[in-house]
């Protein structure tokens, strides 16, 4: 489940269903997912959320996902 703002389980509209993979917001060795409306996927409170950027370092760190090798892959 993706939480949109503060509404758990809110349905994503068709225009938000796809994401652009971009360089990590916090670390260029990571990657981030940006929605068409400019919001980004981030982890917060053990949930995956789609939130608009708020300009904070915490948001950038929460929205940067590291690349990890798959064991045996």
16-61 pLDDT, tens digit each: 568 899 999 999 999 999 998 899 999 988 888 889 999 999 999 9
Q: Is residue 32 part of a domain?
A: yes
The domain containing residue 22 runs over which residues? 18-66
**DSSP secondary structure of the chain:** -EEETTBTTPPPPGGGS-EEEEE-SS-TTEEEEEETTS-EEEEETTEEEEE---S-HHHHHHT-EE--PPTT-
Distance (Å, whole) CA 57 – CA 64? 11
Q: Is residue 72 part of a domain?
A: no
Residue 14 has pLDDT above 90, yes or no: no
Decide if 30 contacts 66 (C-beta within 8 A).
yes
Q: Is residue 30 part of a domain?
A: yes
Total count of domains within the chain: 1
């Amino acid at each position: 489940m993706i939480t949109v703002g503060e509404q758990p389980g809110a349905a994503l509209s068709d225009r938000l269903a796809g994401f652009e993979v971009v360089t990590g917001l916090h670390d260029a060795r990571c990657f981030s997912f940006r929605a068409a409306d400019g919001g980004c996927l981030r982890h917060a409170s053990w949930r995956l959320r789609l939130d608009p950027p708020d300009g904070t370092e915490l948001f950038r760190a929460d929205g940067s996902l590291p690349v990890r090798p798959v064991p045996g892959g």
